[in-house]
A and B are shown apart, each in its own frame.
Chain A
């Protein structure tokens, strides 16, 4: 697969999914975010935060949430100053 700057419209990727499956996946993603958000808010354990970000990145790509996927991938990379706060804000917006 080709790789671009990470802002590709993942939303269009999920468009091919049957609506019922996509609805299921979005519900499952909401539960997943609920479970992982506390770790990301606290960030007391970088390894756990990176694992959460890794899982969120792939899941967000599947359901067509490119902004969350990109932010999560950046947090997962573990670079200093990763956009943890931005990721948390984007996840909170998703849940809202």
Chain B
């Protein structure tokens, strides 16, 4: 789908050290009249200068760059000329996946898996993915993201060696919430902007939490294990990727795996991973997961819907609320994309809409934690 020809196309800067990739990406992007490539950079340093000079609407950047790395370039761009940045990265190993997550922490809006040897997808598919992600990224409002705001340089490239960080005490919420008895699970859904939001929320949950935490994050296939590893080093609770037959554990954050829907089967928190429904757009699906939580746990769960494009999660959260579960949504001002929470709010699926920083205190209040 393209926007009307009469509208001004969004200016794009492409950053890649490979002329082949730049040429291919330019053709893929400009196949949509909503975009025009206004500049190409061959390394991170050129990218920083070009973005400052051209002020494009969106940047499409490879991470593996000479002269100045993609991560450093993102940090500098977000600190000086905040611009939505879509990163594409080969998912050939844990190191690259960790880099992609570092890119999101540094301020990139989203990550796209770069195909390579062994992939059986088509170039058309890849080009279509680029355009779809660019359309979302170009609509994101970004703010100045000072270097080191979410992470320090010391953690770059060494996430597996970083000791687990301590609990970040949430600031007391202004409005008290009534604690709920018998809650077994906190279910969280997120999409665009989710990794940063998850970090902000989850770093405030203590490791001795008596409830299990379940996260469904839309993410390109291949990046979920990296997301789990990244969060595991940054938040007090252990983080694992879920799988069929396992049970969600109290005091543990489980992330839904890519490529399937994770369903909670019963009040013992057993999990089943099933193939997506035909035509399902977002996988793993938040709606499917939340609906299963509503069926399995009724009022004994808390639902949280964070930033994201589209409306996945809204109906599932509505199901949870209808069964008596308290539900929270991220507000517009702090959402990278106020899509999913807005859809949930419009469906009357949300008890309380809150700024991101207030969501962890609200969850802890509902769980009866000081």
Contact = CB atoms under 8 A, between A and B. Distances in A.
Interface string B91-125: 01100000000000000000001111111111111
Given A3-B119, A51-B64, A72-B117, A58 B21 contact: yes
B23 interface: yes
A25 B123 contact: no
B133 to A, nearest CB: 14
Interface string A56-68: 0111111100100
Interface residues of B, number: 27
Contacts of A77: 92-93
A59 B64 contact: no
Contact of B116 (A28, A31, A51, A58): A58
A6 B117 contact: yes
Nearest to A66: B117
A95 interface: no
Contacts of B21: 55, 58-59, 62
Interface stretch (B12-20, B197-205, B327-335): B12-20
A93 interface: no
A31 B23 CA distance: 13
B114 A8 contact: no
B113 A32 contact: no
Given A1-B119, A58-B115, A61-B117, A28 B92 contact: no
Nearest to A14: B123
Contacts of B125: 1
Interface string A1-45: 111111010100110110001001100110110000000000000
Given A14-B123, A54-B90, A76-B92, A63 B118 contact: no
Given A1-B113, A25-B23, A77-B93, A17 B123 contact: yes
Interface residues of A, number: 36
A69 interface: yes
B351 to A, nearest CB: 39
Contacts of A2: 119-121
A32 B21 CA distance: 11
B128 to A, nearest CB: 11
Given A28-B23, A73-B118, A13 B92 contact: no
Q: Which of A3, A4, A58 has the most CB of B within 10 A?
A: A58
Contacts of A63: 20
Contact of A1 (B17, B18, B19, B120): B120
Nearest to B124: A16
Contacts of A25: 20, 23-24
Contact of A70 (B66, B90, B117, B122): B117
B348 interface: no
B221 interface: yes
A43 B335 CA distance: 47
B20 A62 contact: yes
B114 A31 contact: no
Nearest to B118: A6
Contacts of A3: 118-120
B158 interface: no
B27 interface: yes
Interface in B10-59: 17-21, 23-24, 27
Given A21-B23, A21-B27, 20 more contacts: A1-B120, A1-B221, A4-B120, A5-B118, A6-B117, A6-B118, A8-B118, A10-B117, A13-B123, A16-B123, A16-B124, A51-B66, A55-B21, A57-B116, A58-B114, A62-B20, A63-B20, A72-B117, A73-B117, A76-B92
Interface of A: 1-6, 8, 10, 13-14, 16-17, 21, 24-25, 28-29, 31-32, 51, 54-55, 57-63, 66, 69-70, 72-73, 76-77
17 contacts: A1-B115, A1-B125, A2-B120, A3-B118, A3-B119, A14-B123, A24-B23, A32-B18, A51-B64, A55-B21, A57-B116, A58-B115, A60-B117, A62-B21, A70-B118, A73-B118, A77-B92
